[in-house]
Amino acid sequence: MGKQNYVDDHFAQCVTFPHSAVLFLRCNLSTPDQLMIRMVTPGGCVSYDIPVMKSQQYSLDEIFKKNLLFLIPFYIFSYERRFQEYNQDKAKLELLKQEYLGIRNELEELTVQKIIDEYTKCTIIDMSGKVLENIAKKYENIRKGVKAVMGGKVFEYEAKTIRDQGRREGRRERMTVGNIDGSCQ
């Protein structure tokens, strides 16, 4: 009998790769719409195209409609080329702040509707602040203005509220367990 062919259904195992994509935070006209991925395996090479997501091409409406909330921290990249202008013009900065107030309100509404939880909302706001701090290092008015609207002191208060609530629930649980087994801690 000849050598067994491992592609034969008897011996072959199927491994399904997840759908992949590449996210570009910055892009221009030469940024491709898809990239060729080439995987080298012991049995040979496999190549296939994966789509490219360009964060700057998503409007806020699309981000919320398509539930692409992970893009919110990177939304500030859409304004990067005009930072100097926004930093110097109070009226334009006010428009930017109003847009971020809209983001904040939309996240709040998703929390009220229980589509996302408080932790997710706070994480998105926190990550937005971290990205803002890094991308707008040289633009104090933008950093301070957007951060004040998105969170700042309010975020710290919400985060502390979540933490304190968790601690209280943990203490209650320990006390309940302590009462059941007769021990106390």
**Confidence band of 52 (pLDDT split at 50, 70, 90):** very high
Q: Is the pLDDT of residue 145 over 50?
A: yes
Could you give the CA distance from residue 58 to residue 64 in angstroms, rounded to a whole number?
A: 10
Reported in sequence order, the residue ranges of the chain that DSSP labels E, i.e. its strands, are: 22-24, 34-41, 44-54
- pLDDT band of residue 19 (cuts 50, 70, 90) is confident
- Which whole number is the average pLDDT over 132-142? 94
**pLDDT class for 154, splitting at 50, 70, 90?**
very low
Q: Does residue 102 belong to any structural domain of this protein?
A: yes
pLDDT at 107 over 70: yes
Same domain, 64 and 38: no
Q: What integer pLDDT is reported at residue 166 of this predicted model?
A: 82
Q: Positive or negative CA dihedral for 101, 106, 112, 117? A: negative
How many C-beta neighbours within 10 Å does residue 74 have? 20
Supply the pLDDT for residue 153.
47
Contact 42, 13 (CB under 8 A): no
Segment among 111-125, 128-142, 144-158 with least mean pLDDT: 144-158
Residues spanned by the domain of 47: 7-55
How is residue 129 written in tokens?
A: 């602040």
Q: What are phi and psi of 85, to 5 degrees?
A: -60, -50
pLDDT above 90 (res 34):
yes
Say whether pLDDT at 4 is over 60: no
Average pLDDT of every residue of the chain: 85
Amino acid 173: pLDDT: 80
pLDDT of residue 140: 94
The type of residue at 5 is N
Q: Does 119 lie in the same domain as 37?
A: no
Q: Which residues pair with 48 in a beta bridge?
A: 37
pLDDT at 148 over 80: yes
Same domain? For 64 and 100 the reply is yes
| Listed residue (151, 80, 69) closest to 110, CA to CA | 69
Q: Which carries the bigger pLDDT value, residue 4 or residue 53?
A: 53
Say which residues have a Cβ less than 8 Å from residue 126's Cβ, sequence separation at least 6. Answer: 151, 155, 159
Same domain, 42 and 111: no
Same domain, 22 and 112: no
Q: What is the pLDDT of residue 9?
A: 59
Does 175 map to a domain? no
Residue 1 has pLDDT above 80, yes or no: no
pTM for this structure?
0.68
Domains: count for the chain: 2
